[in-house]
Structure 1
Amino acid sequence: MVLITGCSSGIGRAVALRAVRAGFTTVATARKPESLAELEAAGCLVRALDVTDAEARHRVVEELDKKHGGVDALVNNAGYGELGPFEEVPLDRWDRQFQTNVFGPVALTQLVLPGMRERGYGRIVNVSSLAGKIVLPVGAAYHASKFALEAAMEALWLEVHRFGIEVSLVLPGAVNSRWADNVPEQNEYASGAYGDLVSELARQMAERLPRGASVEYASSVVMRALTESRPRLRYPVGADARVLLPLSRMVPARLWSAWVRSHFPSIRHPAPRPVNPPTVDRTRR
C-alpha cells in the first residue's frame, strides 16, 4: 500500500494516478478531499489529511494499519513555498512553513516506521526540491525548510537501511505545475526595502516554471524511487537540477554567489562601502 500526501494537483496527483494504474493499492490524500474525485474514480482510496494536523495523521495511519495491514510506502509530497525577504517574513509564517514542509513529513514518517520495521520492508520517498541544495534570495524560509528535510531524511536513510527500509529524496528543479498557485501573496513586500528583489524573483518564476519539467516526468521519477530494487538517496528532476546540483559543489563559493547575483540586477553590484567605516576599540574590555 502506498500513502501519498498533497494529491490535489501537481506531482502528488500524477504519482497517485501512476501508482494506482500500476496496480498498487493507493491512498491519495489532501486537505480538501473534494479535490480528489478524479483520483477516487481512477481507483484510489481518498482521505482528508492536513499533514500539520496531528490528530488527522494518527487517524489515517491507524485506519490503514487496521483495515489494510499497514503502509508499505509513503510519499511525502505535500508542501508549499513561503517566499519573501529574510528580514520581513513574520515568524509565524516561518513556523507554518516548517510545520508543513518538515515537521508534518517527519511526524507522518515516524508513524509508519514501526510497521515497516516489523515487516522488514518499506519505502519513504520525499518530494524535496532543488531549493534544498541551492539558495536564491527572497526564499530563506522555503530554502531552510527544504535543507532541513534533506538533512533529516539523510539521517533516517543511514538509520533504517538495516531494517529493509529505503529512503529517497526527489529533487525537482523548475516544474510546469500549479506550485506557484500555493505561494502566499507577496504584495506586502513590494514596497519594502527588498521590493526590487521580490519583483525580480516573481518575474523569473513566471519565465522559468512554464519551461520546466512536466509533472508527468517528475511523477515518473518518484515511481522509480518507489519501485527500483536499489533506489538512490537522491533523484534530480529536470535539466536544471541535473546541471546545477553537481556544478554548485564544484564551483568555489565566491564564484557561485557571483553567478547567482548576476541573475538579480538589484544585487548584481554591492553598495559602496563607507569611506570611514566604524571601528572597534579593541583596547576596552
Structure 2
Amino acid sequence: MTNSKSIFITGASSGLGRAAALTFAKHGWTVYATMRRPEAHADLGEVEGVTLLPLDVTSPAQVEAAVARAIELGGVDVLFNNAGYSLAGPLEGASDAAIAQQFETNVFGVMRVTRALLPHLRERGGATIITTTSIGGHVAMPLNSAYHATKWALEGWSESLAFELRPFGIEVKTVAPGGIATDFFGRSMNLVRHPAYEDQLKTILAAFTSPERAARRSTAEAIAEVVYEAATDGEDKLRYFAGEDAKAYIAQRRELGDQGFHMALAKAMYGG
C-alpha cells in the first residue's frame, strides 16, 4: 500500500521514534527517520519507504542539512518532534551544563527543527506538527524537576504555536505518553546524585522501577498508533493523552484539583 504523505521524525533510532517510523511505513507513508548515528541502525533503513538521515537536534548545521535533504527527496507533510531524554535526580546534583543540555535537546532542539521546516510547511499547506511531550508535562513527579520543566515548556509552546500557525492551515498537536516499556530508564535517562537526597532517591527509583509500575507501561507500538491517529484523524485537537496510566493521572488531577492531586501524590510517594 502506498501513500502520498510523508513524515519527518526526530529521535527515530529506538523506542517511540523507531516504532513510529515502522508504523507510518506500514501504512505506506514516506518516512524520514532521523537520528544521531544512522549507520548503527541500518536495519531500519532497509524497511520500504524509510530513509535514514543523520541529525543531532542540538546542531544547527545538521538540522538545516537534514531538513534540506528531506525537502529535496519530496517534501514533508508531518513533523514528529520526538528526540529527548530525562535528566533525573535532585536539582542540587545537576550542574549548569547538565541542565542547559536538557533544555538544548528537549526544548531548543524541538524549536530549531520546527523553525527550519516552517517555511516549507507553510508553502506545502495542510501540514501537521506533532510533538512528544509527556504526562510529565501535566503532572510532576519527585526528583525530575529539570525534565518536567522541559515538558511543561513544550506544552505551552505547542499551545501558543497552534494559534500562531492556524492562519496557515498548519495543525499543531502534542502526544503525552505515560510510561513506555523501552530503555528510557537506561539509555534515555541521565541520573545525577547528591548525598543529601540518597535515601529519597532510592525510594523513588524503587517505586518507578517496581514490577507493578512496569506492568502499567504501554508498548512503544501502542503509543505510535496514537501518533498515527493524531496525524491522520483530521480533528482540530491539541492534546492526545497516550496510555492508560497517562489517562488515569490526568483524570485524577482533574477530579481532585491541583492541590488535592499534589497532596495525594505526596502521600503515595512519601507516606504520612
TM-score for both structures, normalised by structure 2 = 0.92
TM-superposed CA distance for 1:254, in Å, is: 3.2
| Residues 30 and 36, structure 1, Cα contact 8 Å, conserved in 2 | no
Q: How does 1:51-130 map to 2 (within 5 A)?
A: 51-68=57-74, 70-130=75-135
TM-superposed CA distance for 1:237, in Å, is: 1.0
TM-superposed CA distance for 1:259, in Å, is: 1.1
Letter in 1 for 2:153: A
Runs of 4+, deviation exceeding 3 Å? none
| Residues 175 and 210, structure 1, Cα contact 8 Å, conserved in 2 | no
Identity %: 35
Q: Separation in 2 of the partners of 1:136 and 1:247? A: 14
Residue matched to 1:15: 20
Q: How does 1:138-153 map to 2 (within 5 A)?
A: 138-153=143-158
SS at match of 1:12: helix
What's the Cα RMSD here? 1.5
| Residues 20 and 228, structure 2, Cα contact 8 Å, conserved in 1 | yes
- Please give the per-residue CA displacement for 1:19-72, whole angstroms capped at 9, x wherever unaligned: 11211110111111123222111121001111111110001111222332x221
* Structure 1: unaligned runs, 5 residues or longer: 270-285
| Residues 32 and 70, structure 2, Cα contact 8 Å, conserved in 1 | no
| Residues 20 and 26, structure 1, Cα contact 8 Å, conserved in 2 | yes
- Please give the per-residue CA displacement for 1:93-140, whole angstroms capped at 9, x wherever unaligned: 110010111000111001111111112221101111000010111000
Residue matched to 1:198: 201
1:48 aligns with 2:54: yes
Residue matched to 1:31: 36
SS at match of 1:3: strand
Q: Separation in 2 of the partners of 1:210 and 1:83? A: 21
* Structure 2: unaligned runs, 5 residues or longer: 1-5
Letter in 1 for 2:56: D
TM-superposed CA distance for 1:210, in Å, is: 4.8
Structure 1 range deviating more: 149-158 or 30-39: 30-39
Q: How many correspondences in the alignment?
A: 263
| Residues 130 and 175, structure 2, Cα contact 8 Å, conserved in 1 | yes
Residue matched to 2:223: 218
Q: Separation in 2 of the partners of 1:88 and 1:58? A: 34
Distance 1:161 1:237, change over 3 A: same
Q: Separation in 2 of the partners of 1:211 and 1:245? A: 15
Larger Rg: 1
1:232 aligns with 2:211: no
Letter in 1 for 2:87: E
Q: Separation in 1 of the partners of 2:209 and 2:66? A: 36
TM-score for both structures, normalised by structure 1 = 0.88
TM-superposed CA distance for 1:231, in Å, is: 4.7
SS at match of 2:185: helix
Residue matched to 2:166: 161
Q: Separation in 1 of the partners of 2:267 and 2:225? A: 33
